Amino acid sequence: MTYEFVITFGKQAIETMLLVSLPVLGFSMAVGVIISVFQSVTQIQESTLTFVPKIVATFLAMLIFGSWMLSKLTYFLHHVIVSIPNISG
């Protein structure tokens, strides 16, 4: 196992993780900003008003992008399993 292989594998793992988590985090962040603006405008400081819409947005994003996320993770896992014989110990 060379340093180049480890660095390439780590880079691909981080890129896949960021790519897969981006839709869910993006939805959650967008809803958080909208709720924060709403709270600032109306001066309502209710903590449940922040969490419940974020949870709903997260579940909605997982429903919408779940199959795409699963296909990306499956492709990465397939690539890892196929490259196992190329690793020299």
pLDDT tens digits for 18-68?
A: 999 999 999 999 999 999 899 889 888 887 788 888 999 999 999 999 999
- Of 43 and 14, the one with more pLDDT: 14
pTM, rounded to two decimals:
0.77
d(CA 40, CA 60): 25
pLDDT value for 15: 96
Q: Which residues contact 35 (CB under 8 A, 6 or more apart)?
A: 49, 50, 53, 54
d(CA 64, CA 70): 12
